[in-house]
């Protein structure tokens, strides 16, 4: 499903943020990407989401090399990857419901079907009854869940989230992780970047550890 083959990434003339990264993620896996701040976790997720291009090596997502995919085809691959960035990028000039409707407008779904699917996504993340609220009126955890609803509304086969539990209390973080678990149970390949070691211990899974100058695949149940 996701393959990294000798991937290097640097910005400008700077040092490599990622150096010779190799791993393979099979469909339906639940993977944590861990490491200290600034180690390159976000960059790794962005490479998978097609938001960044590798400096060297190949990133293969769903059988397609991201560095070789054309500019026109790239958006269509992005629809298969639900992305939740650290800054959730919610739109504060519209309601929670309209935020979730945006990806459906992108694929041109009819308004009836889109509304039904958006409601279902909102319900899945536990935000029913808050559709009409502006995201600014939601708590941090609820905003995170809204971002998840927007990421999953197009039924992606891969879900990537960058520090989704950062700045959340333990109970809220737990709920968010449960939401990801639910999607993973129905076959969605899930990658979560987090530096929260406590969270990793509680939800032991396959973990990819990125440290400055070093990459380790810790495998499952570490």
If binding is defined by CB under 8 A, does position 190 make contact with other proteins? no
Backbone φ, ψ for residue 57 (5° rounding): 85, 180
Residue from 109, 161, 173, 193 in contact with other proteins (CB under 8 A): 109
Residues 112-171 close enough to bind other proteins by CB under 8 A: 150-151, 154
Backbone φ, ψ for residue 20 (5° rounding): 50, 60
Residue from 6, 11, 91, 220 in contact with other proteins (CB under 8 A): 91
User: Residues 210, 212, 216, 220: what is their CA dihedral angle, to the nearest 10 degrees?
Assistant: -30
Minimum CB distance to other proteins smaller for 76 or for 178: 76
If binding is defined by CB under 8 A, does position 51 make contact with other proteins? yes
Question: Is there a contact between 71 and 56 (Cβ–Cβ < 8 Å)?
Answer: no
Only one residue has tokens 């570490």, namely: 222
Q: Which two tokens mark 119?
A: 């409601």
Relative to beta strand 189-194, strand 158-162 is parallel
**Shortest reach from residue 78's CB to other proteins, in Å:** 4
**Shortest reach from residue 213's CB to other proteins, in Å:** 30
**Shortest reach from residue 106's CB to other proteins, in Å:** 5
Neighbouring-strand partners of residue 192:
32, 161
Our separate counts of H helices and E strands in the chain read: 7, 10
Q: For helices 111-124 and 140-152, what crossing angle results, to 10°?
A: 130
Residue from 25, 47, 85, 118 in contact with other proteins (CB under 8 A): 85
If binding is defined by CB under 8 A, does position 83 make contact with other proteins? yes
Residues 7-46 close enough to bind other proteins by CB under 8 A: none
**Shortest reach from residue 52's CB to other proteins, in Å:** 12
CA distance 194 to 20: 21
CA distance 40 to 209: 10
If binding is defined by CB under 8 A, does position 107 make contact with other proteins? yes
If binding is defined by CB under 8 A, does position 75 make contact with other proteins? yes
Minimum CB distance to other proteins smaller for 49 or for 57: 49
| Contact residues for other proteins, defined by CB under 8 A | 49, 51, 71-72, 75-79, 83, 85, 89, 91, 93, 102-103, 105-110, 150-151, 154
């Amino acid at each position: 499903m996701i393959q990294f083959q000798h991937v290097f990434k640097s910005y400008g003339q700077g040092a490599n943020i990622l150096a010779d990264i190799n791993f393979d993620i099979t469909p339906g896996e639940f993977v944590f990407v861990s490491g200290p701040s600034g180690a390159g976790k976000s960059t790794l997720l962005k490479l998978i989401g097609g938001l960044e291009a590798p400096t060297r090596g190949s990133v293969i997502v769903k059988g397609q090399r991201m560095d070789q995919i054309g500019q026109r085809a790239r958006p269509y691959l992005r629809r298969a990857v639900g992305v939740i960035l650290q800054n959730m990028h919610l739109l504060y000039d519209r309601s929670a419901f309209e935020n979730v409707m945006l990806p459906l407008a992108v694929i041109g779904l009819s308004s009836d079907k889109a509304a039904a699917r958006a409601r279902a996504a909102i319900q899945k993340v536990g935000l029913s009854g808050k559709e009409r609220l502006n995201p600014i009126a939601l708590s941090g955890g609820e905003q995170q869940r809204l971002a998840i609803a927007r990421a999953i509304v197009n039924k992606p086969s891969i879900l990537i989230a960058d520090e989704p539990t950062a700045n959340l209390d333990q109970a809220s973080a737990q709920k968010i992780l449960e939401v990801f678990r639910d999607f993973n149970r129905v076959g969605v390949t899930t990658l979560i970047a987090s530096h929260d070691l406590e969270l990793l211990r509680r939800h032991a899974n396959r973990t990819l550890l990125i440290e400055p100058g070093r990459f380790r695949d810790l495998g499952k149940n570490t």
